[in-house]
A and B are shown apart, each in its own frame.
Chain A
């Protein structure tokens, strides 16, 4: 990838990390207080972020033939299947236990919260387990056992 693209991605990350911090999403306590119906602020964060992004995703490809530095506009693609929904349900269980999701786990380190390394280590291990399972050869129906005669 071009250096100028990587600089743009770095700027995106800085803005993202600053926004997550300002919105206090890097504090697991705040996320847990949302999940326990004590403070609905997370809905404003998600709503604000998704609304601005939706405008960009809808408008920008109509104004520009291609992104400024790269050839194509990517697309978030998700399939409606058991993996997407089951995986999301599992993700929610982990999120509900820890109050930490991937973005804040990383950003929180920048705010000096080293305890989040436990969450990062857990996520790395979880991602490895998923990749290991996904790398296994497809399951074949068991052959009937040869009869020992």
Chain B
């Protein structure tokens, strides 16, 4: 049963999840900020675009700390690679067009929904928000259906 659910083991998943929770907690205790990731992709456009949406205070005003957060993500993953990760850079078998098209749809949808797996999934669920729970159920459902369809069509 356990091997069926978690063929690669469970400890690293749980420990990684707890570390992510501690990271979000650290940001909250120190700054009060709610650290979803998808808003970064809107707020960087405030540097380049004069469209009203990107110049709104909640988008433009948060770009500095969101960029710092992104830099931290990259550093943290690099730290993992150099320690527990074995030092060999990762690659993926997922095709470039899956990454590009999937990225576009996911980026558009997350911003329309104002949250992604971190914003709705971690921060939203943790603040016991019903709309976020509904969003999580919606994206898990469509993601599972889509991933199965892509597999049937021969995608990675």
Contact = CB atoms under 8 A, between A and B. Distances in A.
Contact of A60 (B29, B74, B125): B29
A19 to B, nearest CB: 3
Given A18-B79, A67-B28, A101-B106, A127 B41 contact: yes
A1 B150 CA distance: 44
B99 A100 contact: yes
A111 B100 contact: no
B90 A27 contact: yes
A73 B32 contact: yes
Nearest to B17: A48
Looking at A8, A24, A103, A124, which has the most chain B CB atoms within 10 Å of its CB?
A103
Looking at B53, B85, B105, B138, which has the most chain A CB atoms within 10 Å of its CB?
B105
Nearest to A112: B89
Contacts of A107: 73-74, 76-77
Interface residues on B, range: 35 or more
Given A21-B85, A96-B143, A56 B37 contact: no
B113 A53 contact: no
Given A80-B134, A91-B110, A131-B53, A9 B19 contact: no
A80 B15 contact: no
Q: Tell me if B's interface is mostly helix, strand, loop or mixed.
A: helix
A76 B119 contact: yes
A90 B112 contact: yes
Interface in A13-28: 13-28
Contacts of B104: 94, 122-123, 125-126, 129
A28 to B, nearest CB: 4
A113 to B, nearest CB: 4
Contacts of B156: 29, 32
A52 interface: yes
Contact of B105 (A46, A48, A93, A124): A93
Contacts of A135: 51-54
A67 B14 CA distance: 27
B43 to A, nearest CB: 9
Interface in A21-64: 21-30, 32, 35-42, 44-57, 60, 64
Interface in B78-123: 78-81, 84-85, 89-94, 96-123
The 6 A-B residue pairs whose C-beta atoms are closest, nearest first, are A13-B72, A122-B103, A23-B16, A17-B76, A112-B89, A48-B17
18 contacts: A6-B65, A12-B26, A13-B68, A13-B70, A14-B75, A22-B80, A36-B147, A92-B146, A105-B103, A112-B89, A119-B103, A124-B41, A126-B109, A127-B110, A129-B104, A131-B45, A131-B54, A132-B51
